[in-house]
Chains A and B, each alone.
Chain A
Amino acid sequence: MGIAVIDVRKRFGDFAALRDVSVAIPEGSLTALLGPSGSGKSTLLRVIAGLESPDSGQVLIGDEDVTAQPARDRGVGMVFQHYAAFKHMTVYDNVAFGLTIRKRPKAEIAKRVHELLELVQLEGLAKRYPAQLSGGQRQRMALARALAVEPSVLLLDEPFGALDARVRQELRAWLRRLHEEVHVTTIIVTHDQEEAMEVAGQIVVLNEGRVEQVGSPRDLYEQPANEFVMSFVGPVNRLGDTFVRPHDVELLLEPDAGCSEAMVERVVHLGFEVRVELVRDDGHHLTAQLTQEQAQLLELERGQIVYVRPSRETVFSGAARPRDLPQSG
């Protein structure tokens, strides 16, 4: 089912976690709530789950206003960053929990649990305890547990945050495939822009309790609504009022139209990509991203003088902070 959050506000003491947040999550979509820590993304997820109640505003799941409903009646499945595994229960009992609470017949529970364990590739581990699983396995168990009750909405709170980089990468791909199979409306909270872009079809960028922009990963990258989104969804060089992505910085060995002089401070080899850190003659620091091939042709060295030119740059209008402008599109 689709989700609508309308004018939600939430304060914790003096801290405004959410300031008038409105978001629409289409049915069947996989949406990421992306933002730095303290941006309100987890609070928003918890408000949708019913684990926090908003100070004002509404939450709709499907067509139903669930604002006053406790979490247990909302039909949501939730996955937590630190797994929230029931440590004293086996994997089987963890996954069966929601069905046991609903007093479903034993045979039905067994069938469903085994289906889910197969789905999350934990078939052989039903009798283990969470402490005997790896982090990635525990999180897959938590996903199976959340899916067992056939939730109308799946909510993931930084689900891969506690895992190491390789496992995180695997689980992202796996989550995307799972979503294609199960098709339940899913919201994933993350502070990692790469994760959001890789997994989600729609991204909601949050900052200081406000929605900065909503769009597809490509929209956000190519048409960021403001400075914050531009710098959050990818690396960026700020040169006065203009913003340039490192891969849009052209490096030349001879002066040319529109170029300015810069000195190479450092060359970092990252495999296919080479990052060149530069300081321009006006004192601005900037980074250029080249392919290995390009870098080899230029034969860059530390201290060398080169000529830089942005091939594409972005300027955000005026002194007003973008969030003070009327929302457009």
Chain B
Amino acid sequence: MSRYLLRFTALGYVAFLLLVPVGFVFYRAFGDGLGHAWDAVTTDRAIHALELTLMLTAIAVPANTIVGIILALMLVRTRFRGRGLLNAVVDLPLALSPVVVGLALYLLYGRGGWLGGLAERGVHVLFAFPGMLLATMFVSLPFVVREVVPVLREIGTEQEQAAETLGARPFQVFRRVTFPAIRWAVAYGVVLTTARCIGEFGAVSIVSGRIEGKTETLPIYVQSQYAFDFDTSGAYAASVVLALIAIATVVLLRVFQPKEEVL
């Protein structure tokens, strides 16, 4: 009996917190008919926002995946002064409010900031793509590192040493032994990174300047629609696009992950 109660509580909790709100968004998006929803997400402005979001994601995810794997290897496989500090710094984006990140970039690259001079030389970071990319990469850095570190710890170094004695050079050891062992951690990290990149609002919102049709990402578009243009069903429809991308990412992982990982 208590087992069912526990199960019911857990499922109810998840439903109440996650499924009901997301379901409601879907429900409302199509409230004014499929046609209206479709029109709302196929305006030039909406399509540009989607493209911009995908572009930011397409650069930030591979960059943070590669750097994330390197950082994880450094943190687990090497000993150096400042390792503890690095470990803490990697978690900073998780702890820091995205608004603070945005503000920090704003101050750094803004007029009077340390790197404020770049704009005078024609390199525009704020209110432009580079600033938004920096903000996106900042907030999505920790995920691959945090997924890979515990797996690297768990697999230990014996397999790598065995490969080394069998004649493998360091990169061959990584490609043939280390990477296959951490690939699902990497994949999961990539999913989380992607979700974070697509969904990022706070930091990007500050550094982008929110210029319609230029520096407006999909989440910013959603908020604008809702808060300033009072087009709620348009906002819902765009939200659905965001939600679908997120769901697709998770589903892709499940599809490619073997049912029974042979370990």
Contact = CB atoms under 8 A, between A and B. Distances in A.
Contact of B165 (A76, A88, A102): A76
Nearest to B162: A84
A111 interface: no
Given A78-B162, A80-B158, A97-B163, A88 B169 contact: no
Contacts, number: 71
Contacts of A74: 165
Contact of B161 (A77, A84, A97): A84
B95 interface: no
Interface string A31-65: 00000000000000000011100000000000000
Given A80-B158, A82-B158, A131-B263, A97 B176 contact: yes
Contacts of A102: 167
Nearest to A72: B167
A86 B163 contact: yes
B262 interface: yes
B181 interface: yes
A175 interface: no
Contacts of A166: none
Contacts of A97: 163, 166, 168, 176
A146 B166 CA distance: 7
Majority SS at the chain B contact face: helix
Nearest to B159: A84
A51 B161 contact: yes
A71 interface: yes
Interface residues of A, number: 30
Nearest to A155: B165
A149 B162 CA distance: 12
A87 B263 contact: yes
Contacts of B168: 72, 97, 101
A71 B159 contact: no
A80 B162 contact: yes
A89 B180 CA distance: 9
A145 interface: yes
A221 B177 CA distance: 44
The 3 closest A-B pairs by CB, nearest first: A98-B166, A84-B158, A84-B162
9 contacts: A72-B165, A73-B167, A78-B161, A80-B158, A84-B158, A84-B161, A86-B159, A88-B263, A101-B176
